[in-house]
């Protein structure tokens, strides 16, 4: 679910709070195969318990937590993951409500926002400061791994450049786009071309750049590539400034909403009037199975 701005917001939040703290315990009710990469959850615990957190980083949509045994804990929230920070208590009873599990965990400081996610907590780290990092993950697609420093570099090597890095230039973008035969919408979302952009921000970036989402990546003119380049930086920075998008369910680790959804240009605005030209109607089309929204006038040229 979260794209670069949401992961960046989450990482910035955690950086201020968990560096220097120790992991003292861990819990999960994910299926065992989620931890088969290291021979099961008990082995996973042995790798992390007693270790101090030295840093929190983001690469693409991955959250990286560096431990003082030179290992890296990698968390990818995928579609519905939310990394939360707070205090929860385990209840003994699991109440089976109308067709769904009631949570085994309750917030110690009840908050309407965090409580929404308590039913879907599937992973938790207990820290030496009495706080917990909890992964809410309705669809259970989340990825949790532990790597040696060198292995994580290998794992992340295939990802495309970070779009907000200063050394990411429009000429680099041009080289990447010329190599691809697919639509610009699909290419922007390809993590091995550029990292961190997903369905929401690719739509808003293309609206900003006035480029039709179905236009072939290699056919774009220099002018269009420059616009896309500027819009990538602009839209992503704006989204980070507003704390990410909470259009459906993204929350900061303390449960607060982001505000980019109020600023979004076209994503999920089918049928509305374009904010810029005031004439075009926002259309929705399918591009390789994903919804794509665009202005029928501003982004007309295929």
Interface positions with DNA (CB under 7 A): 1-3, 31, 60-61, 76, 78-79, 99-101, 119, 138-141, 143, 180-182, 186, 189, 191, 198-200, 245-250, 288-291
The question of whether 3 is a catalytic residue gets the answer yes
Write down the least CB distance from residue 141 to DNA, Å.
5
Which of residues 53 and 176 has its CB atom nearest to DNA in the complex? Answer: 176
Write down the least CB distance from residue 51 to DNA, Å.
24
Choose, from 22, 45, 283, 290, the residue flagged as catalytic: 290
Which of residues 51 and 257 has its CB atom nearest to DNA in the complex? Answer: 257
Choose, from 34, 51, 58, 61, the residue flagged as catalytic: 61
Which of residues 249 and 256 has its CB atom nearest to DNA in the complex? Answer: 249
Three-state SS string over the chain comes to CCCHHHHHHHHHHHHHHHCCCEEEEEEECCCHHHHHHHCCHHHHHHHHCCCEEEEEEEECCEEEEEECCCEEEEEECCCCEEEEEECEEECCCCCECCCCECCCEEECCCCHHHHHHHCCEEEEEEECCCCEEEEEECCCCCEEEEEEHHHHHHHHCCCCCCCCCCCCCHHHHHHHHHCCCCEHHHHHHCCCCCCCCCHHHHHHHHHHHCCCCCCEHHHCCHHHHHHHHHHHHHHHHHHHHCCCCCCCCCCCCCCCCCCHHHHCCCCCCCCCECCCCCCCEEEEEEECCEEEEEECCCCCCC
The question of whether 110 is a catalytic residue gets the answer no
The question of whether 154 is a catalytic residue gets the answer no
Write down the least CB distance from residue 54 to DNA, Å.
24
The question of whether 2 is a catalytic residue gets the answer yes
Write down the least CB distance from residue 154 to DNA, Å.
13
Known catalytic residues are: 2-3, 61, 290
């Amino acid at each position: 679910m979260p794209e670069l701005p949401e992961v960046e917001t989450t990482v910035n939040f955690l950086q201020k709070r968990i560096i220097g703290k120790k992991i003292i315990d861990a819990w999960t009710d994910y299926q065992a195969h989620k931890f088969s990469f290291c021979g099961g959850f008990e082995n996973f615990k042995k790798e992390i318990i007693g270790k101090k957190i030295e840093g929190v980083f983001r690469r693409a949509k991955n959250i990286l937590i560096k431990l003082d045994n030179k290992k890296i804990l990698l968390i990818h929230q995928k579609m519905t993951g939310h990394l939360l920070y707070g205090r929860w208590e385990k209840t003994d009873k699991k109440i089976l409500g109308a067709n769904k599990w009631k949570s085994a965990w309750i917030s110690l400081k009840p908050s309407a926002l965090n409580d929404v996610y308590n039913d879907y907590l599937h992973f938790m780290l207990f820290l030496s400061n009495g706080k917990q990092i909890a992964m809410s993950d309705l669809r259970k697609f989340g990825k949790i791994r532990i790597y040696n420093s060198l292995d994580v570099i290998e794992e992340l090597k295939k990802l495309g450049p970070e779009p907000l890095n200063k050394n990411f230039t429009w000429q680099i973008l041009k080289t990447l786009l010329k190599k691809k035969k697919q639509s610009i919408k699909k290419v922007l979302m390809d993590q091995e071309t550029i990292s961190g952009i997903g369905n929401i921000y690719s739509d808003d970036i293309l609206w900003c750049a006035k480029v039709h989402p179905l236009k072939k990546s290699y056919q774009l003119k220099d002018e269009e590539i420059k616009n896309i380049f500027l819009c990538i930086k602009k839209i992503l920075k704006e989204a980070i400034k507003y704390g990410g998008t909470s259009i459906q369910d993204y929350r900061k680790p303390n449960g607060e909403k982001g505000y980019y959804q109020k600023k979004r240009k076209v994503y999920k605005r089918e049928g509305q009037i374009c904010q810029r030209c005031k004439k075009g109607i926002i259309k929705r089309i399918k591009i390789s199975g994903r919804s794509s929204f665009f202005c029928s006038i501003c982004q007309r040229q295929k």
